[in-house]
Amino acid sequence: MTNKLKTLLKTFADFKESELDCILTFFKPKTAKKSSILLHEGKICKEFYFINTGCIRTHFIDKNGYEKTRYVVLDNQIGTALKSFITQKPSSEFVETLDDTEYLAISYNDFFQLNKELENWKLFYQTILERAYSFQNRKIEALMTQTAKQRYEDLMKRNPELTQRLNNKILASYLDMREETLSRLKTS
């Protein structure tokens, strides 16, 4: 599991092997069953995750009681409820496993201790923030300018694995459409 994390970290910055060995000591291996809540709305996010196998999602519950999936993290990817993690304020979203999941977690304190000590970790963190901003901006733009069909087709091009791994309810909430609309799009 740690070798996969090392490989991923190297895509973000030019880490030395000694830096990677140090970083890995801060990540703790964990497992969670499908449908486990790793973070409840209203709680402060204390961990940042590397998903070895499985899947997590961050989602909100809107005022009408509908789930709105903001982000999905698959095998060999990283993520968390980033706003709560950074600010250490209560989260407005949940983090939930969608499959049985094996992951590595680093605490807030350890994450930011590395940020103080390692220049490459600062670069890693900056890149995470830039990618998160770009992703959210692209998602908002799509919601404002594209039809449901265009959003679905765009997802099929950009990230077809999501359409295969997520059930219709969660995929529809990710694309901000009703499940019935998604079903029609899949059959047309």
pLDDT digits (tens, 9 = 90+) for 26-47: 999 999 999 999 999 999 999 9
Q: Does 65 have pLDDT greater than 80? A: yes
Whichever domain contains 57, its CATH number is: 2.60.120.10
Note whether 95 and 81 are within 8 A (CB): yes
How many structural domains are present in the chain?
Answer: 2
Which residues 6+ apart lie within 8 Å of 110 measured at CB?
26
Pair 45, 108 in one domain: yes
Are 124 and 150 part of one and the same domain?
no
Measured CA to CA, the distance from residue 37 to residue 55 in angstroms comes to 12
In this structure, is residue 26 part of a structural domain? yes
Which of 70, 55, 77, 65 is CA-nearest to residue 5?
A: 77
Asked if residue 154 lies in contact with residue 142, where contact means CB atoms within 8 angstroms, the answer is yes
Residues 154 and 72 in one domain: no
Give the whole-angstrom CA distance, residue 180 versus residue 171: 11
Tokens 């499959």 sit on residue? 99
Fill in the amino acid letter for 100: D
pLDDT band of 2, cuts 50, 70, 90:
confident
13 with 90, same domain?
Answer: yes
Q: Do 148 and 185 meet the contact criterion of CB atoms below 8 Å apart?
A: yes
pLDDT at 187 over 90: no
Would you tell me how many other CB atoms lie within 10 Å of the CB of residue 177? 19
Residues 104 and 158 in one domain: no
Q: What pLDDT is attached to residue 81?
A: 96
Same domain, yes or no, for 13 and 99? yes
The whole domain housing 64 covers 2-134
Average pLDDT across the chain, whole number: 95
Residues 35 and 12 in one domain: yes
CB 48 within 8 A of CB 106: yes
d(CA 155, CA 142): 10
CA 22/CA 86 separation, integer angstroms: 22
Distance, in Å, from the CA atom of 120 to the CA atom of 42, rounded to the nearest integer, reads: 32
Q: How confident is the model at residue 186 (pLDDT cuts 50, 70, 90)?
A: confident
Question: pLDDT band at 177, cuts 50/70/90?
Answer: very high
Rounded CA separation 86/80 (Å): 10
pTM of the model: 0.91
Q: What percent of the chain has pLDDT over 70?
A: 99
Whether residue 65 is contained in a domain is answered as yes
Model confidence at 1: pLDDT above 80: no
Statement to judge: residues 84 and 24 lie in one domain: yes
**Do 114 and 50 share a structural domain?**
yes
Asked if the structure places residue 140 within a domain, the reply is no
80 and 171 within one domain: no
Tens digit of each residue's pLDDT (9 = 90 or more) over 106-135 = 999 999 999 999 999 999 999 999 999 999
Same-domain check for residues 12 and 74: yes
Of all residues in the chain, the percent with pLDDT exceeding 90 is 95
